[in-house]
Amino acid sequence: MTIRTMLVEDEWLIREALLKTIPWERYGFEIAGEAGNGSEALEMFIRLQPDVVITDIRMPGMDGLELIACIREISPTVLICILSSHTDFQLARQGIRYGVFEYLDKLNLSSGEIEHCLARLYETFQGHSRERDVSTLPVEPQQEVRSLELQSPSAWLKQFRIQARECAGWRWVIMQISRETWEQTDIHAWLEEFPYPEVIKERRLFVDAEQRLHLIMEGEIEVPRLLLERYEDTGILISSRVAGPEEWEKAYREAEELQADLFYTGWNHAVDYEHKRIYQVSGPALTGDQEDKLIALLAVGNANAILECLDELLLDAQRRSVHPKRLIQALTMLLTRNIPGKYLQREHTAVWGEAIGRIHSCTTAGEFMERMSSALRTVMQDKDRPVTMDVEVALRYAQEHYAEKLTLGRLAGAAHLNPNYFATLFKEQTGETPMAFVARLRVEKAKELLKRREGSVQEIAEQVGLHNLSHFSRVFKKMTGQTPSEYRG
C-alpha cells in the first residue's frame, strides 16, 4: 500500500530539494500533491484527501498552524508533520495540541532523521489501517484480556469516550520501556503481574505502534513508585489531572511532551507534567567553544576523549534546558560533517549512517551515549581494553553492597563518574549494563542460599536485596529458567 502524501512549502528551492533528495518510494510514500501556501494546500487537501500532510509553519496568507486547524476539522485522524526552519518550540507545542505527528527542523535535518520519521509514519499508518479493518468485523464478547492491544491514542479515545463514567481527576500515563527490555518481556507474565488488575479489566491500558504503554489511572494512587519498583528500565510520564472527558486528548499530549524531560532524567524515573521542565527557545544548542573542542577531538580520533566531551555537553545542555531534539540534531550534524574521512571507510559508511539514524530515536541520554560509543568505536576501531580502575571499584562495591538498595547513581558515585558516562563505560568493559550485573549477582547469591536451604524463599529474597517476592521470582526465573522453589527442589 502506497501512502499518499501532500507537501506544503512556500520556498520553491527547498520544496524541490525535499522532493528529489528524500527516497519517498523506498519507504512506501508517493507525493500526491505539492503546494506553496496554506490556502492552496487546503483546497488541494479537500480535493486529494491525502493520508499524510507535511507542512511548513511560516507561509504567506494562511500559515501552517491555521492550515492544520482547518485540516483537523475535516479529518481528525490524518497524519501531519511540521517542517520548519524556526526553532520556535512555542509553535511546536501548539502543533502538538493539534495532534501533529512530528516536528522537524529543516535547517538541521539529517537524512537519518527524515528516514526514521518516514518509517514511523508508515508503521503508524499501517496500524490505523488495521484498526479500521478490525472495526468492520463482528464484535465478540471478550472474557479476559490476554495480550496488550495495539492501538493509536486517537482510536483508543474513540472507544473510551463511549464509557459514561466520571473521570475528573484522572491522569494519562505513558510507560516508556527500553527497547531491549521490551524485546525480552513475556507479555502474558507482564499482564499477570501488573499491579492494577482493574486497569486491564476496564481496558484502560493499550500499547501504541512505538511500543509505549498507555494507562488511564484514577485518583492519587502510587503509580510511579509501584511501577518503577516492578519494571526495570522504565520511565513514567504523567499528565495533569483531567477535568472531564473533553480533556483526554490534552492529557495525552501532555504525557507525550514529557518524553523530552525523560531524556535528561533517564530510566527509572517518573516525570509529572505539573513539574515539567521549561526549555529555552532561543540561543544555540552548542556554544562556539563547545563545537571547536569537539571538532578538535574528532580530528585526533580519540573515541574516549570524544565520549567524555559528549558527556560534558549533555550535562551542560541539561543545565541550560536545551531541548533534547535540538541537542541531538546539533551533535549529529556536527559529528557527521567533521568526522575525518579516513575513518569512514567503505564498510563503515553504512554503519555510521545507520547509527546516526538510531541515535535520533534515543529516549534517554544514557541510550544516546551508548549508541554513540558503539558508532565511534566501530569507525575508529578502538582496541578492546581491560576493565579500568573506576569500573573495578564499582564491581567491588556491588559485590559488597548487593543486599542493599543499589541504583545506577549509587554505583556511579562509588566510581566517581557521571551516571550516563559510567553506564556506557561499564557496558563496554563488562558486556552488560550495571543493573543487569547487579541482578545477575543477586541471583547467583540467591542460588547459593537456596542450595544451602538457609531460610524461606522470602527471607532469601530479602537477603539478596530483592524484597518484593514476585519481582524476585520473576528475575530468578528469567535468568535460570526455574522459579526459586523449583531450583531449591
Beta strands in 211-305 (DSSP E): 213-217, 234-238, 269-272
Work out the average pLDDT over 41-47. 89
In this structure, of 90-99, 147-156, 260-269, 324-333, the range with the lowest mean pLDDT score is: 90-99
Would you list the domain boundaries of the chain? 3-131, 153-275, 288-380, 396-415+433-488
Q: Is the pLDDT of residue 53 over 70?
A: yes
Phi-psi region of 231 (alpha: psi -120 to 50; beta: other; left: phi over 0): beta
Task: State whether CATH 3.30.43.10 applies to domain 396-415+433-488.
Answer: no
**CATH node for 153-275:** 3.30.70.270
Q: pLDDT-based confidence at 325, cuts 50/70/90?
A: confident
**pLDDT for the residue numbered 400:** 87
Give the C-alpha separation, 219 to 223, whole Å. Answer: 10
Nearest to 236 by CA among 205, 207, 215: 215
* Buried/exposed code over 328-351 (b: 16+ C-beta within 10 A; e: otherwise): bbbbbbbbeeebeeebbeeebeee
What pLDDT digit, counting tens, does each position of 387-444 carry? 677 888 888 898 888 888 888 889 988 888 888 888 888 887 777 888 888 988 898 8
**pLDDT for the residue numbered 179:** 76
Q: Is the pLDDT of residue 26 over 70?
A: yes
Asked if 102 and 117 touch (Cβ cutoff 8 Å), the reply is: yes
Return the CATH fold of 3-131: Rossmann fold (3.40.50)
Domains 3-131 and 153-275 agree in fold? no
Estimate to the nearest angstrom the gap between the alpha carbon of 249 and the chain centroid: 20
Give the C-alpha separation, 280 to 215, whole Å. Answer: 30
What pLDDT digit, counting tens, does each position of 124-159 carry? 887 766 655 554 444 443 334 445 666 677 777 766
DSSP character string of 334-393: HHHHHS-TTT--HHHHHHHHHHHHHHTT-SSHHHHHHHHHHHHHHHHTPPP-PPPHHHHH
Amino acid at 173: V
**Residue 55 β-bridge partners:** 8, 82
Give the C-alpha separation, 223 to 408, whole Å. Answer: 21
